[in-house]
Amino acid sequence: MAKTLPKTDVVIVGVGWAGGIIAAELTKAGLNVVGLERGKERKTEDYFMVHDELRYSMRYEMMQDLSKETITFRSHDNVRALPMRQYGSFLLGDGLGGSGVHWNGQTYRFLPYDFQIRSKTIERYGKDKIPADMTIRDYGITYDELEPYYDKFEKMAGISGEANPLGGKRSSEFPTPPMKKTPGIQMFTEAASKLKLHPYMMPAANLSENYTNPDGVARAACQYCGYCERYGCEYGAKADPVVTVIPVANKTGKFQIRTHSNVRRILHKGGKATGVMYIDVTTGEEIIQPADIVVVTSYVFNNVRLLLMSELGKRYDPSTGTGVVGANYAYQVVKGSAVGFFENKQFNTFAGAGSLGISIDDYNGDNFDHSDLKFIHGGVISLSQTGARPIQNNTVPAGTASWGPEFKKQSLHYANRTLAVGAQGSSMSFKQHFIDLDPTYKDTFGDPLMRITFDFREQDKELAKFLAERCNEIVKEMGADKVDFLKELGPYEIMSYQSTHNTGGVIMGAEPGTSAVNNFSQMWDADNVFVVGASSFPQNAGYNPTATVGALAYRAAEGILKYRQSGGLLV
Amino acid sequence: MEGNKSSGLVADKETDSKKALEPAKENNAVSEHSGPEHDNVQMNSNSRRKFLVNSGYVIGTLAVGGALSTIFGCTDNNGGNPQEPTATPGGGKETEIPNYNRALMYFTPAQFRIVDSATERIFPEDDNGPGARKLGVAFFIDHQLAGDWGFNGRDYMSPPFYAGEKVQGYQGRLKRKEIFDIGIQELENYSLTKYTKGFAELEGAQQDEVLKVFENEEANLPTISESFFFRMLRATTLEGAYSDPLYGGNMNMEGWRMRNYPGSQMSYLNIIDKDFTKVEPSSLQAHLVSH
């Protein structure tokens, strides 16, 4: 028999960026909030021995233990889905701060086009530009409406950067100046300018200088140590929930974090949630936490999984295209990139920061004419210097042996002589791409795993090829002696790391029939449930998702406070 | 950890960087006489500076000079193991404290010899510096297989098992240590059949031939995918060459030194916007004892 605890105002499922932001905002406003986090506590002191590529990058120290829970995958619904038994394509976060701890900190705002993609595409190219099975949608909120929330997120995190010349309007400057320009970044800047492109320094959550945010949280500047992605920051220089929003929530005395608490069900009755049921994973005890409001912020997969297992919202049916929970799963097309080999120049590429880089948006969104192209959208193109750690960076020119004397010689020769320019391609949603409950494979509690049905389509292949060619042009202009770049995007595979930018499944929209939440991340079918995160993206943009997740979380927090006052649907 | 303090470390490293290419043996020579704490309390240049700052009043007198010089006699650049590189179990000079890490947790000696030979072909000694053998790669793999990773402790290993599409990744029921057991045995069997000699006894070129057959999935093994095993062997060879010396490979940080990788540094603030700068590597061991 489950133990039932006293009721709280709000229970948050998963304490990462979205959960942390909402906890801070609600507790500041006086609400009592319980945060349930399935993983362990994390703090800056944990990272004293963090410069360890084997432990963090190769053995996935920060990631979810797949022996307890994973996902299953298939390319097509006529194939049997099988479990992702080992890490590859994407890395699932775990513990306090979630994926917000092991991210790189690349903090782009989406383009205005991203929020109104269906209507803008039709407006410029006509209805036929969008294939019949492509299910892209407008968010039901515009960039301009979301701008104040982006601004809030950037000020909280202390984002370093300069305005994107091809981006949406900004209400204020970045709170801190751009990061330092490395020789490689200089070369990209000059090459891009010669090609009449519009370079700007990558918006970075690695602080360019010491910074105190509006909540009074002071953090030290980034030291460019070269260990961001897959690592926690030993300086607290990289913005993450543990060093920004969570302490603010804690200080109110109204936030109670319970780690090792894995939520299995949202409890509900007559279209309203009554609380959640979770397991204390240290004792196995089943616990019920009643709450007036349930906030689900546990990354794309668990957001969808919790709704489906709790039978909350209308399940997506791919055969009819009806229902919403699990629909519009999208990803990122990152293989369209180019590597330059420089014979006569070495670089300090061992040094770096997760979001140290330079970008152009000339080939992103609808910033270029797609009339004669077989795809829509595009992606940001960047040169980033994240720290070329030695186990994972042994790039040699195509045709080089992959082991033996030639490989050793060449991989050592080029260890500090390569610069890569990469594209972060957008990913459109399709009727055939969705996530649902796997019929066979279970997690450690006996609950079904999430099942992904996804592949790259013509849209992705054309887009990747186009972006790779653009990357090639830039690297050539930078003076590389040899350039290798993608010629053809193969099928989607689960083994090689690509991007932890999974999106969709609980999408946002203007009306209930085609979306699961409104633009406050409030569920149409249960007005006291807010599902926040990249799960609400109807398709994925050509950028990293975190700034947008943060902005949507600030808006959700505002919505929750409004709901607390007035009740009912907010839109 | 204070950012300001550590940004000063880079300056230290730059002045030391001239020594970057000195052979490890010379750097290590003095460590043999460095007192009782030399095995795990080696002081590198950073900790020495910190110590000097912390105890400046002592430095002003000569009274403790002898004691200090004994401590400071430790090598600067050795963040790894103090011993001369060796890849044979039980190696090392009598005057040295043995490297207790150099023993086997998982492999039999016969398995060890095969892995040691195979990884040396994958990452051979050349003009640039040591190969897998001198870097201790086979010890690294042995130690890895004995732990969590060898047991697939954090992988999803629940049934049912089905052969999947290629894009669905590894779907076998064998754990990594079992794949190594079988793969090593198959290397040996293939060598005995084709050359009537064990793998470790073959000429280098013959070993390459065997490895190529495995890489190209041409051995027609009934047991495991030989190319999967080969890729794992190659990947762990690079891990052993380039992971922190704490794991038993990358002996003396020679793997890092060959490619001018500085290992664990607290700050690159002073060189991030500069042209290529050689920085003498530092390990986690040095970081631990210097803070």
Q: What domains are there in chain A, each with its CATH number? A: 3-42+93-566 (3.50.50.60)
Calculate the alpha carbon distances from B22 to A229, B17, B27, B42 in Å.
33, 10, 7, 19
Q: Tokens for B286? A: 């040095």
Whether residue B256 lies within 8 A of chain A, CB to CB, comes out as yes
Chain B residues inside the 8 Å CB shell of A65:
154
State what percent of residues in chain B have pLDDT above 70: 67
Q: How far apart are the first and last CA of chain A?
A: 39
Model confidence band, residue A336 (pLDDT cutoffs 50, 70, 90): confident
Average pLDDT over residues A27-33: 98
Chain A residues inside the 8 Å CB shell of B131:
408
Distance from CA of B134 to the nearest CA of A (A): 15
Q: Quick one: pLDDT at residue A432?
A: 97
> A257 or B92: whose pLDDT is higher?
A257
Contact A180 B287 (CB under 8 A): no
Is it the case that residue B69 has pLDDT exceeding 80?
no
Average pLDDT over residues B123-128: 98
**How far apart (Å, rounded) are the C-alpha atoms in residues A562 and A567?**
7
Model confidence band, residue A191 (pLDDT cutoffs 50, 70, 90): very high
Q: Is A501 a catalytic residue?
A: yes
Q: Quick one: pLDDT at residue B94?
A: 56
Distance from CA of B230 to the nearest CA of A (A): 11
Model confidence band, residue A75 (pLDDT cutoffs 50, 70, 90): very high
**How far apart (Å, rounded) are the C-alpha atoms in residues B141 and B152?**
14
Model confidence band, residue A274 (pLDDT cutoffs 50, 70, 90): very high
- Candidates A561, A524, A532, A571; CA nearest to A549 is A532
Q: Quick one: pLDDT at residue B103?
A: 97
Q: Contacts for A468-472 with beta carbons within 8 Å, 24 or more apart?
A: A468/A335, A468/A336, A468/A337, A468/A338, A468/A423, A470/A363, A470/A381, A470/A423, A471/A336, A471/A337, A471/A338, A471/A381, A471/A421, A471/A422, A471/A423, A472/A338
Calculate the alpha carbon distances from B245 to A126, A323, A557, A565, B274 in Å.
60, 54, 47, 59, 28
Judge whether A384 and A357 are in contact, CB under 8 Å.
Answer: yes
Is it the case that residue A234 has pLDDT exceeding 70?
yes
ipTM, 2 dp: 0.96
Chain B residues inside the 8 Å CB shell of A86:
152, 155-156, 169-170
Judge whether B268 and B10 are in contact, CB under 8 Å.
Answer: yes
Q: Helices (H) and strands (E) in chain B — how many of each? A: 14, 0
- Candidates B188, B144, B171; CA nearest to B225 is B171
Contact A402 B256 (CB under 8 A): no
Average pLDDT over residues A270-295: 98
Q: Quick one: pLDDT at residue A56?
A: 98
Chain A residues inside the 8 Å CB shell of B165:
74-75, 79
Which residue shows structure tokens 């039709």? A122
Q: Quick one: pLDDT at residue A1?
A: 76
Distance from CA of A81 to the nearest CA of B (A): 8
3-state secondary structure at position B183: helix
Average pLDDT over residues A280-304: 98
pLDDT digits (tens, 9 = 90+) for B163-193: 999 999 999 999 999 999 999 999 999 999 9
Nearest CB among A85, A350, A407 relative to B170 is that of: A85
- Give every CB contact of residue B172 below 8 A, 6+ residues apart in sequence: B161, B179, B224
- Give every CB contact of residue A119 below 8 A, 6+ residues apart in sequence: A138
- Give every CB contact of residue A153 below 8 A, 6+ residues apart in sequence: A21, A159, A547, A550, A551, A553, A554
Calculate the alpha carbon distances from B240 to A518, B23, B123, B287 in Å.
51, 20, 10, 20
Q: Return the residue of B nearest to A210 by Cα.
A: B3
For residue A333, the cross-strand partners are A425
Is it the case that residue A440 has pLDDT exceeding 60?
yes
- Give every CB contact of residue A371 below 8 A, 6+ residues apart in sequence: A125
**How far apart (Å, rounded) are the C-alpha atoms in residues B24 and B26?**
5
In this structure, of A255-259, B207-211, B222-226, the range with the lowest mean pLDDT score is: B222-226
pLDDT digits (tens, 9 = 90+) for A499-513: 999 999 999 999 999
DSSP B59: H
Question: b/e for A134-171, b at 16 or more Cβ within 10 A?
Answer: bbbbbbbbebeebbebbbbbbbbbbbbbeebebbbeee
DSSP string, B209-264: HHHHHHHTT-S--SSS-HHHHHHHHHHHHHHHHHS-GGGS-SGGGHHHHHTT--BS
**How far apart (Å, rounded) are the C-alpha atoms in residues A538 and A426?**
12
Average pLDDT over residues B185-203: 98
Q: Tokens for A305? A: 């999984």
Beta strand A418-425 with A379-386: parallel, antiparallel or unpaired?
Answer: antiparallel
**How far apart (Å, rounded) are the C-alpha atoms in residues A521 and B105?**
53
Is it the case that residue A263 has pLDDT exceeding 70?
yes
Judge whether A214 and A170 are in contact, CB under 8 Å.
Answer: no
Is it the case that residue B11 has pLDDT exceeding 50?
no
Angle at A502 between CA A500 and CA A506, to 5 degrees: 150
Model confidence band, residue B160 (pLDDT cutoffs 50, 70, 90): very high
State what percent of residues in chain A have pLDDT above 90: 99
Outline where DSSP puts E strands in chain B.
Answer: none
